[in-house]
Amino acid sequence: MTRHTTMFLFLAVLAAPVMARAGEADDLQRQIDYLKQTTNDLERQDDQKAVATEITVMRSWLDNAWNLRSQEKYEEVRIILDRCEAQAHMVRQLLIAATLSAQADAKEDEVKRARAQLARTKKALENAKVQKARLEGKV
Amino acid sequence: MTTIIRASLLAVLASGLLSVGCATPPKPRELDALERLRLDPDMPVARKRAPDLCKKADKAFSAATAKWQSNDLVESVNNALLGQIFFRNALALVKQDKANARIADAEDALSTIGEEREKVQKDLDDTNEKIGLLQKLSQSKAEEARKNEEMKALEAQMEADKKANEEKLAQEKLRAETADKVSEAELAIKTAETVNAAKYAPELYRSAVQILAKAQGELQAGQMQQAQASAAIAQKTAADATAMAKPSYDRDSQAEENRKKADGLFAQASGIPGVRTRRDMRGSLQRIIITIPADLLFVKRQTVIAPGKDMVLDPVAELIKKKEYQNFPVQVVGYTDTRGSTTSNLALSGARAQSVFNALVTRGVDVRRMMASGQGGAEPVADGRTAAGRASNHRVEIVFLYQ
């Protein structure tokens, strides 16, 4: 081993933890950015404003994570990001539930209308039968 | 005793200090919220629906509780939040299932309602179709009844019209018959007028005219029976007037005709040369007399027409034979003057008349129309004291008689 090689290895050993931390910070930043983008996407999908609170909370969490990352509290950031991932998943399920509930409401309204229509048709049938009986009596 | 109390107080103090040193901090509200979530009525369902999530949540709850109890509030809150997320996620899935179930129920209900509505609608359509048919039938019957009513009304109207027409025709016929009767009466009066009944049967004629006027008035007034009766009386009266007037009318007509003929005869006779013609009246008879002087026919006192002297008789005979004078009887009368005996004069005049008579017969005059006679010296036409007068009194007269 040459002296230069030895020096290189020595410096590499010294720089490794620093480089590792720098990579972790970038990785967390990408995750934060990704989750922010996810938050925006979820907000766009929330046309009923069913999960507005959850999205607001998630944004505040991400802001907190961003601050903690700046403070290089990576472990705490990771915990918050895990929670945000779970929150994003939950929000998706809530959005689906809200959408399905809205569809169910619409369907039930449709059922109500159909029942009302059926009732009107039945009433019309009753009236028609009365009219028919009267006409049969006349004819 | 004091020792025991002191020991007890020390024990209490010690336990108090211990409890203050090991005191649990206030429960984070995130943990409270998590506990409330665990008591959600849908949680049993959520645990069945998403057991993994609930297991993670339970684990987070345990960790949060433990961290809280160990005074690690940050970790407690982190776990509590994570547990909430897991539980809420599980509950969201339950909510999805419920919504799906509602959708399915609603679709089932819609399907059922749709089927029922289809059936009811079909019944309604069928019923409405039958109603339509019944209405048409009803309308048809009503229309038929209306037409029957109209037909009956029309028939009644036609019957009434027919009756009215018959009555009108009967009236017209009666009126025509009456008018005929009146016309017949008018004709009878006209007939009476042709025989100048106003002159020859004035009372009957006036009566007929008056009765006819009455009949015409009754006809105008529509009193047909009375008009017919009046017309019949008028006709009868007019016929009577005609019958009464006709002989007089015929007689006067004949006389008038004869007068006209006589005028013609006189004019023609006046044209015969050598003779004299005159007219006179004897009783009801009219006479045209052609006087032929005796010396124009005879020599001296002879009774035979001298030869060559009978030419004057030719136009006389032609005149007598003319058709228009066939109904005029003709007398051939001889006359003399008054000298000598009456007997000889009568004989001479008679013989001469007979000679002329014969000569006329010889010329074709019908013997049945004539008669001859001698009047001697009667009816002289001139003064017998002079020779010229006596010569004039010797004559033969051809006398045409008419009324």
- Cβ-Cβ contacts under 8 Å, B95 against chain A: 94, 97, 100-101
List the single residue in A87, A90, A125 with the smallest CB-CB distance to B124.
A125
SS3 track for A69-138: HHCCCHHHHHHHHHHHHHHHHHHHHHHHHHHHHHHHHHHHHHHHHHHHHHHHHHHHHHHHHHHHHHHHHH
Say yes or no for a CB contact (<8 Å) between B103 and A107.
yes
Take residue B211 and report the two structure tokens written for it.
């009765």
* Best mean pLDDT range from A9-13, B88-92, B145-149: B88-92
pLDDT digits (tens, 9 = 90+) for B216-271: 898 888 888 888 899 899 999 989 999 988 888 888 888 888 888 888 889 988 88
Say yes or no for a CB contact (<8 Å) between A122 and B120.
yes
| Tokens 């809530």, located at residue | A94
> Given CB atoms, is A135 within the 8 Å cutoff of chain B?
yes
CA-nearest of B229, B219, B125, B231 to B181 is B231
pLDDT for B73 beyond 90: yes
Mean pLDDT across A68-80: 94
Say yes or no for a CB contact (<8 Å) between A79 and B78.
yes
Per-residue model confidence (pLDDT) at position A136: 87
List the single residue in B81, B103, B141 with the smallest CB-CB distance to A103.
B103
User: DSSP letter string over B19-51?
Assistant: HHHTPPPPPPHHHHHHHHHHT-TTHHHHHHH-H
Take residue A42 and report the two structure tokens written for it.
């979820």
pLDDT digits (tens, 9 = 90+) for A21-61: 678 899 999 999 999 999 999 999 999 999 999 999 999 99
What's the fold here for domain B271-402?
A: 60s Ribosomal Protein L30; Chain: A; (3.30.1330)
Q: Which of A75, A83, A118 to mutate to test the interface with B (most CBs of B within 10 A)?
A: A118
What's the mean pLDDT when you consider all of chain A?
89
Per-residue model confidence (pLDDT) at position A6: 72
Confidence of residue B17 (pLDDT cuts 50, 70, 90): very low
Spacing of C-alpha B31 from chain mean position: 115
CB pairs A-B closer than 8 Å: 101
Confidence of residue B2 (pLDDT cuts 50, 70, 90): very low
Prediction ipTM score: 0.84
DSSP code at position B337 = -
Helical H runs in B195-281?
197-200, 202-220, 224-270
Per-residue model confidence (pLDDT) at position A91: 97
Per-residue model confidence (pLDDT) at position A96: 96
| Tokens 């002191």, located at residue | B6
> Given CB atoms, is A134 within the 8 Å cutoff of chain B?
no
* H/E run at residue B333: strand B330-335
Per-residue model confidence (pLDDT) at position B98: 94
DSSP code at position B373 = E
Q: How far apart are CA A21 and CA A24, in angstroms?
A: 5
Mean pLDDT across B126-137: 89
Take residue B315 and report the two structure tokens written for it.
């136009």
Which residues make beta-bridge pairs with B374?
Answer: B334
Model pTM? 0.51
Say yes or no for a CB contact (<8 Å) between B89 and A138.
no
Type of residue at A129? K
Per-residue model confidence (pLDDT) at position B12: 44
Domain ranges of chain B: 27-108, 178-248, 271-402
Say yes or no for a CB contact (<8 Å) between B117 and A101.
no
Determine the distance in angstroms separating the CA of B20 from the nearest CA of chain A, rounded to an integer: 30
Question: Searching chain B, which residue's CA lies closest to the CA of residue A107?
Answer: B106
pLDDT digits (tens, 9 = 90+) for B323-332: 988 889 999 9
3-class DSSP assignment, residue B291: strand
What's the mean pLDDT when you consider all of chain B?
88
pLDDT for B306 beyond 60: yes
Which residues make beta-bridge pairs with B288?
Answer: B279, B400
List the single residue in B89, B114, B124 with the smallest CB-CB distance to A128.
B124
pLDDT for B19 beyond 50: no
Confidence of residue B161 (pLDDT cuts 50, 70, 90): confident
What is the DSSP pairing of strand B395-402 with strand B370-374? unpaired
How deeply is B225 buried, as exposed, middle or buried, from its count of CB atoms within 10 A (0-12, 13-18, 19+)?
A: exposed
Q: Are B78 and A83 in contact (CB under 8 A)?
A: yes
Q: How far apart are CA B272 and CA B32, in angstroms?
A: 187
Which residues make beta-bridge pairs with B276?
Answer: B291
Q: How far apart are CA B25 and CA B29, in angstroms?
A: 12
